[in-house]
Amino acid sequence: MSYNIGLSGLRTTNQSLEVISQNIANVSTAGFKASRAELAALYSGGQAGGVEMQKVSQNFDKDGTKEFTGRDLDMAISGQGFFMVKDESGQMRYTRAGMFNKDANNFIVNSSGMRLQGYAADANGTLVNGVLSDLQVSASSLPARASTGLEFVANFKADAAVPTAPFDSSDSNSYNFSYSSDLYDSLGTEHTLTQYLVKTNDNEWTAHYYLDGNPVDIDGTGTNSQAITFNTDGSLNTPTSINLAYSPAGAQAMNIALAMTGTTQFAGDFSVARNATDGYPAGDLTGLRVDESGIVSAVYTNGRDQIQGKVILANFANPGGLAQADSTTWTQSFTSGNAVTGEAGTGALGTLTAGAFEGSNVDLTAELVSLMTAQRNYQANAKSVSTADKLTQVLFNTL
């Protein structure tokens, strides 16, 4: 019996050494989770009969170190959850290793070529929620978008004097203020809309609109001027919006909805709080950006960005029950339960940090101590076998 007890100790200690060695070897592996050998005593007829390896568990409760890289598609999970990646056979795997890049077809993949899963976006940058698919980013330029609206919110100077000279865009004494806004046609050509604001009476103004120095037709009236009135409390009375029409050379006709809601008239300086259009020129791709919710956006030279997709995370009731596929990926099992998917930062799912990846959660100091302890255990069990052998020899010599 003593032989068997010592041999079981040698066998399980050797297995423990393998687990510890694996941890130490992967101390720098991204997304690696430290393993622990869990041993159990053997009994036979109520008598101790040695030890066995019961299972090898992995530590999913402790995050690994966060390594900042500055790379566009590197992502680190802080808290619970796994990235979902699909291998060449179509099997879903789960990983904490967030080192991603683009392949030749612009799919977001890990170092093994497995495609990252999430919600894709259509050509207009609208997410297709609820349907998991391979995330792919566009490598093409962003086409120009014609301006269709302009939001203009300002404060008109209530105590401004009424100009005495008749309006003339070339005479600054004939108007109180002017303000320019950039608009874009269907070819992405930039045009300048200038508003000349003339106070005509208390709480009454007239706005004159010119695009590239040419008068702009307002609401199909054939005139480029519009009366603007304010209430006695300083709030805007009329109009809240107007429509401007213009036909640039070589491009589609422009129809701009100029929204003025929120414009006021108070004493003090003339100021503009908002001046924004929905149009923009064409732009070339300069990079990608991932926010903490997992939205992947393409960034262009025109200062615009467009959503390319959204990374979705998965979690399990019992992550320790996941089946090991390789050193940093796992597959779902009966013990782990079914994957529960969701957006980063919602429910029990962790948040994402872009430009970084999660390193190994192996504690090297603790592993080295465990290594020394396991080596002593091995020596002790080897000694027990040697001692049992000597006792057996003595017994045989006495017979």
Residue-wise pLDDT for 266-280, tens only, equals 999 999 999 999 999
Residue 277: count other Cβ atoms within 10 Å of its Cβ.
Answer: 20
Mean pLDDT, rounded, of the chain: 91
pTM value is 0.77
Report residue 2's pLDDT band, with 50, 70 and 90 as the boundaries.
low
Cα gap 114→99, rounded to integer Å:
11
Cα gap 192→186, rounded to integer Å:
15
Report residue 395's pLDDT band, with 50, 70 and 90 as the boundaries.
low
Among candidate residues 396, 372, 339, the one with its CA nearest the CA of residue 117: 339
Structure tokens at 328: 């940093």
Average pLDDT estimate for 329-347 = 94
Among candidate residues 289, 332, 319, 377, the one with its CA nearest the CA of residue 10: 377
Kind of pairing between the strands at 225-230 and 204-211: antiparallel
Chain position carrying tokens 């009994």: 43
**CATH 2.60.98.20-classified regions of the chain:** 149-277
Chain position carrying tokens 């002790």: 380
Report residue 399's pLDDT band, with 50, 70 and 90 as the boundaries.
low
Average pLDDT estimate for 376-390 = 72
Among candidate residues 255, 308, 296, 300, the one with its CA nearest the CA of residue 282: 300
**What's the distance, CA 112 to chain centroid?**
21
> Which carries the bigger pLDDT value, residue 2 or residue 240?
240
Cα gap 325→37, rounded to integer Å:
18
Give the three-class secondary structure for 276: strand
DSSP summary character for residue 141: P
Cα gap 255→39, rounded to integer Å:
76
pLDDT tens-digit map of 188-230: 999 999 999 999 999 999 999 999 999 999 998 899 999 999 9
The topology under which CATH files domain 149-277 is Tick-borne Encephalitis virus Glycoprotein; domain 1 (2.60.98)
Average pLDDT estimate for 52-65 = 87
Query: What pLDDT, on a 0 to 100 scale, did the predictor assign at position 163?
Result: 96
Query: What pLDDT, on a 0 to 100 scale, did the predictor assign at position 12?
Result: 84
Could you give the residue ranges of the DSSP H alpha helices within the chain? 2-25, 364-398
Cα gap 75→209, rounded to integer Å:
49
Cα gap 77→66, rounded to integer Å:
9
Give the three-class secondary structure for 93: strand
- List the beta strands (DSSP E) in 264-304: 264-266, 271-277, 285-290, 295-300
Give the three-class secondary structure for 153: strand
- Contact yes or no for 286/299 (Cβ under 8 A): yes
pLDDT tens-digit map of 113-155: 999 999 999 988 899 998 999 999 988 899 999 999 999 999 9
Among candidate residues 254, 250, 62, 230, the one with its CA nearest the CA of residue 154: 230
